[in-house]
Amino acid sequence: MVVLAASIVGKSGKVLVSRQFVDMSRIRIEGLLAAFPKLVGTGKQHTYIETENVRYVYQPIEALYLLLVTNKQSNILEDLETLRMLSKLVPEYSYSLDEEGICKTAFELIFAFDEVISLGHKENVTVAQVKQFCEMESHEEKLHKLVLQSKINETKDVMKRKASEIDKSKIEKGRGDKGGFMSLQSMGSGRIENNFSDMSISSGGGGGFGSGSGFGLSTDIESFSTKSKGRPPSSATAPPKGLGMQLGKSQKTNQFLESLKAEGEVILEDVQPKASQSRSAAPPLTDPITLTVEEKLNVTLKRDGGVSNFDVQGTLGLQILNQEDGHIQVQIETGGNPGILFKTHPNMNKELFSNENILGLKDPNRPFPTGQSGDAGGVGLLKWRMQTTDESIVPLTINCWPSISGNETYVSIEYEASSVFDLRNVVISVPLPALREAPNVRQVDGEWRYDSRNSILEWSILLIDDSNRSGSMEFVVPPADSSVFFPISVQFSATNTFSDLKVLNVIPIKGGAPPKFAQRTQLITDNYQVV
């Protein structure tokens, strides 16, 4: 049996998809397919047509024909079996059996045809096998990407350390090259101002101090204090009277402080913090109306199994950019979880919510507040809470198994994730005894980092989905009691929630077209520990 081509054509003769399995010119295949609609008769019971050179075996699919072009020596029973297999595959890849749907999924259909027919002969495959082959999901590829990302992160850490060492050496050199200090006495209450490379020296009624050399003064000096050294922070906005010297900040010194922060040092800068830096920047709003669904997890798991505390607190917030969109009502849908208790804002119409799941103000003439000021989540409309001790609904469980063997402690940690949630940016922090060097990590699914300042081993997994619902890490440290490795802290986020709350529609009270809105949903950990 030799199948020359597998094609999908319209009843008017238009070729939508055609895959050739033997060497043949474009002119020939176009001629064969153009002749097919003229040969198809009406009222015939068979679904094949023979000419002098080829045989057409076809099957109608709504307004289209699925067509096999074979030679006359092929086995027609096998041809029909091949045709039936292809007819099962076409609806699997095309969402609609018309010209538009076939053209949009043309390449997927061609790849599927190649899995069924090889060099004109039918392969012994099923529909499920064809779909699996076409997906081409590779665990080795994922592993390679994780290893590559780990090398990139390691290189970035080396770059930061080198930059920090260079900045430290420059600052030490600048301190060693500066001249001696001398006393500068003021004869009156006037002010002397000199600018040496962004440096300001001012003298008041009291004594002052300045540089003994007026030229070549290095400005790579900045007063800073660290909590580890116990120095109290000073304010640059209100210098004490009598001390008139004020050093301007340099870019190199800022880079040095940033490198210290990257290493975990707590820096108290002599600069008044800006209001914009005091709170985390929320993503900019682009839609007229944004509804934010957020759930926070407070979970305490027992190291031997079981749940000590499981508390989910959720909120639904509303942010409106334009004042004209303030007269609205929000229709929602809850997931029907019986363990969740909902509470509306006191200004909400409770009867409207309980009867129709619609959130609206008691006074319909009163609009919702507008603007982005205030809380990042917007105006609170709804709150809910869920508490349970059912371990089956816990999104992530951690098992830690320390065991002492000789002069070493072997620690095996494994996680198991629920199939309900795809967890992102997972960080499992394991406390360790005081060590002189990093622990010996022998096996890890993901990435690891040792925080020597706090003596914590951080195990990071970028994404936990169906491909890695469970994973493990093994490391070796000097002999230590098993209680040292607890409590284990966990951080992660997810894009679906326990309440499964969805915003169905935003209803304008004063009529008109419904305004455009966006929904943001996230599940985050507030306090998630294994004790």
- At 87 the pLDDT is 86
What element of type H or E holds 502? strand 502-508
pLDDT tens for each residue of 8-33: 988 877 888 888 888 888 888 888 88
Confidence of residue 44 (pLDDT cuts 50, 70, 90): low
Strand boundaries in 37-166, DSSP class E = 48-50, 54-61, 64-71, 117-118, 121-122
Confidence of residue 284 (pLDDT cuts 50, 70, 90): low
pTM of the predicted model, to two decimals? Answer: 0.48
Q: How high does pLDDT run on average in the chain? A: 79
- At 123 the pLDDT is 82
67-83: average pLDDT: 86
- At 267 the pLDDT is 55
340-355: average pLDDT: 89
- At 456 the pLDDT is 93
Distance CA 401, CA 213 (A): 65
DSSP 339: T
Share of the chain above pLDDT 90, in %: 28
Residue 489 has pLDDT above 90, yes or no: yes
DSSP 269: E
Residue 368 has pLDDT above 50, yes or no: yes
| Placement of tokens 């009163």 in the chain | 366
499-530 burial by CB neighbour count: b if 16+ within 10 A, else e?
bebebeebbeeeeeeebebebbbebebeebbb
Which long-range contacts link 87-91 to residues 24+ away (Cβ below 8 Å)?
Answer: 87/59, 87/61, 88/127, 89/113, 89/116, 89/127, 89/130, 90/8, 90/61, 90/66
- At 220 the pLDDT is 40
Confidence of residue 386 (pLDDT cuts 50, 70, 90): very high
Residue 348 has pLDDT above 80, yes or no: yes
Token pair belonging to 405: 């063997």
Query: Which of 232-246, 273-287, 333-347 shows the lowest per-residue confidence on average (mean pLDDT)?
Result: 232-246
Distances (CA, A) of 162 to 157, 436, 520: 9, 22, 40
- At 263 the pLDDT is 61
In sequence order, what DSSP letters do the residues of 274-319 get, joined into one string?
PGGGSSPPPPPP-SSEEEEEEEEEEEEE-TTSSEEEEEEEEEEEEE
Residue 252 has pLDDT above 80, yes or no: no
- At 416 the pLDDT is 93
Residue 476 has pLDDT above 90, yes or no: yes
**493, 494, 485: which is closest to 429 by C-alpha?**
485
Residue 414 has pLDDT above 90, yes or no: yes
Residue 45 has pLDDT above 70, yes or no: no
The amino acid occupying position 236 is A
Query: Which of 175-179, 213-217, 412-416 shows the lowest per-residue confidence on average (mean pLDDT)?
Result: 213-217
Residue 491 has pLDDT above 90, yes or no: yes
Residue 161's CB: how many other CB atoms inside 10 A?
13
- At 75 the pLDDT is 82
425-440: average pLDDT: 92
pLDDT tens for each residue of 156-199: 989 988 988 898 888 888 776 654 444 334 344 444 344 434 44
Residue 263's CB: how many other CB atoms inside 10 A?
13
- At 446 the pLDDT is 92
- At 43 the pLDDT is 55
| Of 36 and 398, the one with more pLDDT | 398
What element of type H or E holds 135? helix 127-135
113-118: average pLDDT: 86
CA 148 to chain CA centroid, Å, is: 18
Residue 224 has pLDDT above 60, yes or no: no
Residue 42 has pLDDT above 70, yes or no: no
| Of 238 and 68, the one with more pLDDT | 68
